[in-house]
A and B are shown apart, each in its own frame.
Chain A
Amino acid sequence: MLNSFFTLLIVFAFCVQSTAQTCNLNISGRLTDETTSKPIVYGNVFIKELKLGSVSDTAGNFKIQGVCPGNYHLVISHIGCETIEYFLNLRNDTVMGISLDHNHHHLHEVSITAKLKERSIQESQTIGKQDLEENGDKNLSTLLDQMSGVSSIKNGSGIAKPVVHGLYGNRLAIMNNGVAQSGQQWGVDHSPEIDPLSANEITVIKGVGAVEYQGNSLGSVILVEPSRIKREPHLHGSGNYFFESNGLGNVLHFSLQQYKNVGLEIGWKVDATVKKSGDNRSPNYYLRNTGNEEANVALQFEKAIRKNWIMDAYLSSFNAKPGVLRGAHIGNLTDLDEAFNRSEPFFTQDKFSYEIEAPRQQVNHHLMKLHSMYFITPNQKLEFTYAVQLNQRKEFDVRRGGRSDIPTLSLDQVSNFGEVKYLSDFGENWEFKTGVQVNHTDNTNVPETNILPLIPNYVAIEYGAFGILAKAWDKTTFEIGGRYDLENRNVATISNSVPRSIVKYSNSYSNFSAMSGVSQQLIKNWKLLGNIGFANRNPEVNELYSNGLHQGVSGIELGEVTLRPEQSLKGTLSLKGKVKNKLFFEALGYYQVIEDYIFLNPSNEVRLTIRGAFPVFKYEQTNASIYGLDFSTVYQITSHLETKIQYSYLKGDDNSQGIPLIFMPANNLYGALTYDVKNWNLGRGKWENIELQVNNRFVFEQMHILPSQDFIQTPKAYNLIGAKVSAERQVGKFRFNFYLRAENILNTVYRDYLNRQRYFADDLGVNIIAGINAKF
C-alpha cells in the first residue's frame, strides 16, 4: 500500500549505487493502481527526450535499460488513467514506485483511496485539475454541487455556500490547504473565500466526524488542496482564459512554477486569477446589480533542506466584490409581499451593466501558511504547521443621506493556527496519526458603520488533540479515531436596552468526539464501507447573541445565551464496485441524529417597529435527524460512449416538534451521456481527447416542508439541459485544451429552493462558456 508521499520518497531516495557516466543506467519500477494497489498491466513508461520506453508486465513491473545520466521527463500513461509526467535527474540506477489514479476518467467516486494517511476511509469524492479548469466560471460551491449529496445555498448567482448531506456553514469544515477556513462562515449569504482555480483538487469527505481537523464540523469536510510544486528544473506554467455569455464574464488565470537548483534547491509557484462579470440574465430579464469582480493571487515556496526535511510556505490573497440583486433589498414584510407578486423584480433595467452598487459585499481574505515535514525514518514523519488568516468583510446596503458607501456590516477577523502532527507506519500495515492543534480567533467590528453590530466582538481560543489508528489486512481496513477540544470564548457586546452599555460574556466548551470505520472487499472489485462517528459543534456567536432585524429575510432574530453544543451521531454505509469493467456504481446511505440542533424558530410574536411589524425568530434547540441516499453509476456502452446517472435523496426532520427541517436540499437526478475520441486527424493537425457530452439535471420540488414554514410556496420542480465539448491539441511546446460548455440551453424559467433570491427573481437563463487553456 503506497501513499503519495511515500511514492515520492521512493522516487527520490531509493537510488541504487552504480557506475555512472556511462550509458548503462536502468530505470525500473512498478506501476500500481492507486485505488486497489493492484499492479497495472500494459502501462506505458516513456522517456520524452530519448523516445525510449517500456510496457509494464503482468506484475506491473517495467524496466528501461541503457540510459545515459541526464535530465529526463518520464511520461507514464495507461488507458483510463490520467497521464502523469515526471521529471527525473538520472545519476544512478533508479527504482520507482508509481501509482496511477485508474478510475479518474470513469467515476470520481470510485477513487476512494487506500491512502490512509492522507485520507481516512470515510466516503470522499474529488474534483481534479482539468474539471476545475473547465469549470472556472463556477465558485467553490457551485463546482461541488455537481456531486451527488452536495448542493449550494445561494444568494443570487455569485454568492454560494456548499451544503453536504444537508449541513452547511458552521456545521461543515472547509480546509484550505490544511488550514480551517476562518471568517464569517455563519452567514448563509457569505461565500467561502477561496479561489478554486488555484487549487489542484477539491475533495468532499462525506464523513461522520472530522477527528483530524479543528473547527466546527458535524461530519463532512471539504478539502481544497493546491498542487505540490513539480520537482522540475524548467519553467512550467499554464494560462486559462474564458468568456461566459450570461453576465459577459471574462476570466483570466495563469500559473507558473519552477524548481530551481542554485546551490539550494527552491521550488516556487504562482497562481493568479482576475474575474469580472456584469448583470446576469434570467430567461426574461436582467438581474440588476448581480455582477462580480475578483482578483486573487497565491504564492507557494518549497525548499528541501535535507532529503528527509521539506519546508514550504503558502501565501494567498482572495479579494471579491459581488453585487446583490437590487430588487432583493427590501424594508419590511409589506415590501417582501409585494416582491413575491411581481412578474419581474423592482429596479429591473432593460440594459446590461457591469456596474456594481449597493447592495453589495466586499470580501478580502489573506492566508499565510508555513509548513514543515520531517521524516524521522521512511515510516515516520512529523509535520508542523503555522497559519495566520486575515478576513475582512464589508456589506453595503442602500442607505439614506449618501451613506450607501458606508458599510452596514464591517468585520475584521484575525486567526492564528498552530499544529504538530506525527504519522507512523509500523508492524504489519498499521498506521498511526496523532496531533495537537491550537487556534486563536479575534473578531472585531470596525466602528465605521454607525449602526448596531449584528454579531459581537469576541476572542476565542481552541485547543485540540487527536489520534487515529488504522490497520489494513488483505481485504479489510479498519480505522478508529478520537478527538478532544476545549474552547474558551470571551465576548463583548452592546446591550439591547437604552442607555447602551457594553455587556461581557465568557463561554467555555469541552467536547470529545470519536469515529470508526471499516472497509471490506466483498468479491473482486466490490467494496463495502461502513463509518460511524460522534461529533460536536459549539453554538456560534450569532446564535448566542444576535438581536435585531435581519434585513434580507425581514425578520427579527433573537439569540439565546443559554444554547448548548450540538451533538451528532452519524453513520454511513456504502457499496461500490464495478462489473466487467463496464458498469461502475456507488451507493451511499447515511443517517444522522443531531441532539440540540440549533435553528431559527419562528415564534408567534410579531414585533412592532417604526418600519412596520416584523415576525420574531428565536434561536432554539431541538432534536433533528437527517438521512439520505447518494447514488451514482457509470455504464460504458461502447469503448467511446458512456453514460452516467446520479441521484441524491435527502430528508430532514425536527423530531421534537414533528415537523420537517427547513432549508434542506431538494432531491435531484442527473444524467450525462459522453462520447469520446482519443485522436482525430483533421487537415494538418491532430486533435486529441475529444469529448462531447449532453447532460440533464432534474431537481424535484421540496415537498418535505409545511406551508407555514415559508413565506411563499416552495419552487416547482425544474429540468435543465446542458452540453459540453472539449478537445486537446499539441502545438510546439504548448498543449492547448479548448472547451465549450452550455448551461440551461432551453432557457428554462426556474427558481431553486436553496437560492434566497427566489423570493424576488428567476434563476439564471442560458449561459455559454468558451475557454482555452494552454500548458507548457
Chain B
Amino acid sequence: MRLLLLSFAIVFVSCKKDDPLTPTLPTIPNQEEVITTLNYTLTAPNGDVVLFSFKDVDGDGGNAPVIVNGALDTNLTYSGKIELLNETVSPAEDITEEVKEEGDEHQIFYQFSNPDLGTTYTDADANGKPIGVSTQLITKGTFSSTLTITLRHTPDKNASDVASGDISNAGGETDIEVTFDVDVK
C-alpha cells in the first residue's frame, strides 16, 4: 500500500525536479542593509578621542552585542561624529554614507538622562534640517549619565522641536536605539 501511494506521489512530482524530496538550498543573503555597528567618536579640542561603540555582528539573535562606554573631561567642547557600519560583509560597508545621502529621511537623536548634557547639530540635509551625523557636545560639572542614540527612518522633521533634537514628536521607524554610560570627570 505504501509503495502504491509512493509511486502515486512520484508520478505527480517527478516532472518538476530531480529529487522531489529535497528542498531547494537557501541562498545565504548578502545583508547589505543591516547595521551591525555604531561608533560615536567625540574629539576634544586637543585631539584626544573618546569612543562609544555598539557592535552586534550576528544580528538580532545569537551572541550578545559588545558595548564600549567612555569617559569625558569636563569643561570641554567635543565634536561628535557617528559612524555606522555593516560588518556582516567583508570589507565592512559604511552605512553612514547612505544615511547622509538620504539625509531628509533620517535623523539621529541624542538623549541624556542628565539634563546638564546636550548635543547640538552641526550638519544639515538638503532642506536645511539636521541629520545628526555631526554634532557638538559641551561638558560642564562632574557626573554620570546615560546617553541614548536613536536613528529614526522617515521621521517628521517638520514636527515641533524635532529640528532641535526633541524625539517625542518625530515618529518614523527606529533603525537604531542604543544606550551608553557617560562619565564626565
**Segment at the interface with B among A301-309, A595-603, A609-617:** A609-617
Kindly state the separation between the CA atoms of A347 and B28 in the bound complex, as whole angstroms: 34
Q: Which of A331, A401, A548 is in CB contact (< 8 Å) with B102?
A: A401
Cβ distance B160 to chain A, nearest Cβ, rounded Å = 14
Q: Which of B35, B173, B176 is in CB contact (< 8 Å) with A335?
A: B173
User: A451: which B residues are within 8 A, CB to CB?
Assistant: 29, 31, 33-34
Does chain B have a CB within 8 A of A447?
yes
Does chain B have a CB within 8 A of A256?
no
Q: Mark A439-475, 1 if CB is under 8 A from B, else 0.
A: 0101111010111110011110101000000000000
Q: Which of B1-23 contact A (CB under 8 A)?
A: 2, 5-6, 8-9, 12-13, 16-17, 20-23
Kindly state the separation between the CA atoms of A389 and B61 in the bound complex, as whole angstroms: 34
Does chain A have a CB within 8 A of B119?
no
Q: Contact between A608 and B21 (Cβ–Cβ < 8 Å)?
A: no
User: B36: which A residues are within 8 A, CB to CB?
Assistant: 610
Kindly state the separation between the CA atoms of A384 and B38 in the bound complex, as whole angstroms: 61
Q: Which of B93-109 contact A (CB under 8 A)?
A: 98-99, 102, 105
Q: Which of B111-157 contact A (CB under 8 A)?
A: 150, 152-154, 156
Which B residue's beta carbon lies closest to that of A438?
A: B9
Interface residues on chain A, size class: 35 or more
Which A residue's beta carbon lies closest to that of B99?
A: A400
Kindly state the separation between the CA atoms of A458 and B171 in the bound complex, as whole angstroms: 39
Does chain A have a CB within 8 A of B175?
yes
Does chain A have a CB within 8 A of B24?
yes
Kindly state the separation between the CA atoms of A447 and B61 in the bound complex, as whole angstroms: 21
Q: Contact between A458 and B33 (Cβ–Cβ < 8 Å)?
A: no
Q: Contact between B24 and A444 (Cβ–Cβ < 8 Å)?
A: yes
Q: Mark A495-507, 1 if CB is under 8 A from B, else 0.
A: 0111011100000
User: B37: which A residues are within 8 A, CB to CB?
Assistant: 610
User: B171: which A residues are within 8 A, CB to CB?
Assistant: 338, 346-347
Kindly state the separation between the CA atoms of A524 and B38 in the bound complex, as whole angstroms: 78
Q: Which of A544-566 contact B (CB under 8 A)?
A: 547-549, 556, 558
User: A374: which B residues are within 8 A, CB to CB?
Assistant: none
Question: With A346-B172, A442-B16, A463-B9 given, is the CB distance from A612 to B33 under 8 Å?
Answer: no
Cβ distance A14 to chain B, nearest Cβ, rounded Å = 36
Q: Mark A236-278, 1 if CB is under 8 A from B, else 0.
A: 0000000000000000000000000000000000000000000
Q: Contact between B177 and A452 (Cβ–Cβ < 8 Å)?
A: no
Which B residue's beta carbon lies closest to that of A453?
A: B26
Kindly state the separation between the CA atoms of A399 and B37 in the bound complex, as whole angstroms: 18
Q: Contact between B25 and A416 (Cβ–Cβ < 8 Å)?
A: no
Q: Contact between A547 and B61 (Cβ–Cβ < 8 Å)?
A: yes
Kindly state the separation between the CA atoms of A447 and B54 in the bound complex, as whole angstroms: 29
Q: Mark A401-435, 1 if CB is under 8 A from B, else 0.
A: 11100000000001011100000000000000000
Cβ distance B55 to chain A, nearest Cβ, rounded Å = 9
User: B72: which A residues are within 8 A, CB to CB?
Assistant: none
Q: Which of A449, A608, A614 is in CB contact (< 8 Å) with B65?
A: A608
Kindly state the separation between the CA atoms of A299 and B99 in the bound complex, as whole angstroms: 50
Q: Contact between B60 and A607 (Cβ–Cβ < 8 Å)?
A: yes
Does chain A have a CB within 8 A of B30?
yes
User: A402: which B residues are within 8 A, CB to CB?
Assistant: 102
User: B17: which A residues are within 8 A, CB to CB?
Assistant: 442
Which B residue's beta carbon lies closest to that of A332?
A: B174
Kindly state the separation between the CA atoms of A453 and B25 in the bound complex, as whole angstroms: 12
Does chain B have a CB within 8 A of A71?
no
Does chain A have a CB within 8 A of B178?
yes
Kindly state the separation between the CA atoms of A79 and B183 in the bound complex, as whole angstroms: 86
Does chain B have a CB within 8 A of A494?
yes
Q: Mark B81-100, 1 if CB is under 8 A from A, else 0.
A: 00000001000000000110
Cβ distance A459 to chain B, nearest Cβ, rounded Å = 5
Question: With A330-B174, A498-B88, A610-B35 given, is the CB distance from A398 to B153 under 8 Å?
Answer: yes
Q: Contact between B27 and A447 (Cβ–Cβ < 8 Å)?
A: yes
Kindly state the separation between the CA atoms of A55 and B32 in the bound complex, as whole angstroms: 77
**Segment at the interface with B among A314-322, A484-492, A733-741:** A484-492
Cβ distance A740 to chain B, nearest Cβ, rounded Å = 39
Q: Contact between B21 and A461 (Cβ–Cβ < 8 Å)?
A: yes
Does chain A have a CB within 8 A of B64?
yes
Q: Contact between A492 and B56 (Cβ–Cβ < 8 Å)?
A: no
User: B65: which A residues are within 8 A, CB to CB?
Assistant: 608-610
Q: Contact between A556 and B156 (Cβ–Cβ < 8 Å)?
A: no
Q: Contact between B174 and A334 (Cβ–Cβ < 8 Å)?
A: yes
Q: Contact between B56 and A494 (Cβ–Cβ < 8 Å)?
A: no
Kindly state the separation between the CA atoms of A206 and B20 in the bound complex, as whole angstroms: 35
Does chain B have a CB within 8 A of A329?
yes
Kindly state the separation between the CA atoms of A403 and B85 in the bound complex, as whole angstroms: 18
Does chain A have a CB within 8 A of B57?
yes
User: A436: which B residues are within 8 A, CB to CB?
Assistant: 5, 8
Question: With A346-B172, A610-B176 given, is the CB distance from A497 to B60 under 8 Å?
Answer: no
Question: With A400-B33, A440-B13, A497-B58 given, is the CB distance from A610 to B178 under 8 Å?
Answer: yes
Kindly state the separation between the CA atoms of A335 and B151 in the bound complex, as whole angstroms: 12
Question: With A488-B21, A494-B26, A610-B54 given, is the CB distance from A452 to B174 under 8 Å?
Answer: no
Kindly state the separation between the CA atoms of A350 and B11 in the bound complex, as whole angstroms: 58
Which B residue's beta carbon lies closest to that of A500?
A: B28
Q: Mark B48-72, 1 if CB is under 8 A from A, else 0.
A: 0000001011111111110000000
Q: Contact between A502 and B61 (Cβ–Cβ < 8 Å)?
A: no
Kindly state the separation between the CA atoms of A398 and B175 in the bound complex, as whole angstroms: 11
Does chain B have a CB within 8 A of A135?
no
Q: Contact between B31 and A400 (Cβ–Cβ < 8 Å)?
A: no
Does chain B have a CB within 8 A of A12?
no
Q: Contact between B20 and A459 (Cβ–Cβ < 8 Å)?
A: yes
User: B54: which A residues are within 8 A, CB to CB?
Assistant: 610
User: B13: which A residues are within 8 A, CB to CB?
Assistant: 416, 440, 461
Q: Contact between B57 and A502 (Cβ–Cβ < 8 Å)?
A: no
Cβ distance B70 to chain A, nearest Cβ, rounded Å = 18
Q: Contact between B21 and A490 (Cβ–Cβ < 8 Å)?
A: yes
Kindly state the separation between the CA atoms of A459 and B24 in the bound complex, as whole angstroms: 8
Kindly state the separation between the CA atoms of A461 and B22 in the bound complex, as whole angstroms: 11
Kindly state the separation between the CA atoms of A502 and B176 in the bound complex, as whole angstroms: 28
Q: Contact between A549 and B172 (Cβ–Cβ < 8 Å)?
A: no
Question: With A453-B26, A456-B26, A491-B23 given, is the CB distance from A609 to B9 under 8 Å?
Answer: no
Which B residue's beta carbon lies closest to that of A399?
A: B33
Kindly state the separation between the CA atoms of A603 and B32 in the bound complex, as whole angstroms: 31
Question: With A490-B23, A492-B23, A498-B57 given, is the CB distance from A418 to B154 under 8 Å?
Answer: no
Kindly state the separation between the CA atoms of A549 and B178 in the bound complex, as whole angstroms: 17
User: A452: which B residues are within 8 A, CB to CB?
Assistant: 29, 31, 59
Q: Contact between A457 and B38 (Cβ–Cβ < 8 Å)?
A: no
Does chain B have a CB within 8 A of A493?
yes
Cβ distance B39 to chain A, nearest Cβ, rounded Å = 12
Which B residue's beta carbon lies closest to that of A556?
A: B60
Which residue, B6, B24, B25, B26, has most C-beta atoms of chain A within 10 A? B26
Ordered by A's residue number, 9 sampled pairs between the chains whose C-beta atoms are within 8 Å are A330-B173, A398-B173, A416-B12, A436-B5, A447-B27, A450-B30, A451-B31, A498-B58, A610-B37
14 A-B pairs besides A501-B28, A607-B61 with CB distance below 8 A are A331-B172, A346-B156, A398-B173, A400-B105, A403-B33, A440-B12, A447-B26, A450-B29, A450-B33, A459-B23, A493-B26, A497-B63, A548-B60, A610-B178
Q: Which 8 A-B pairs have the closest CB atoms?
A: A331-B174, A612-B177, A447-B27, A331-B173, A346-B171, A457-B23, A416-B12, A498-B58
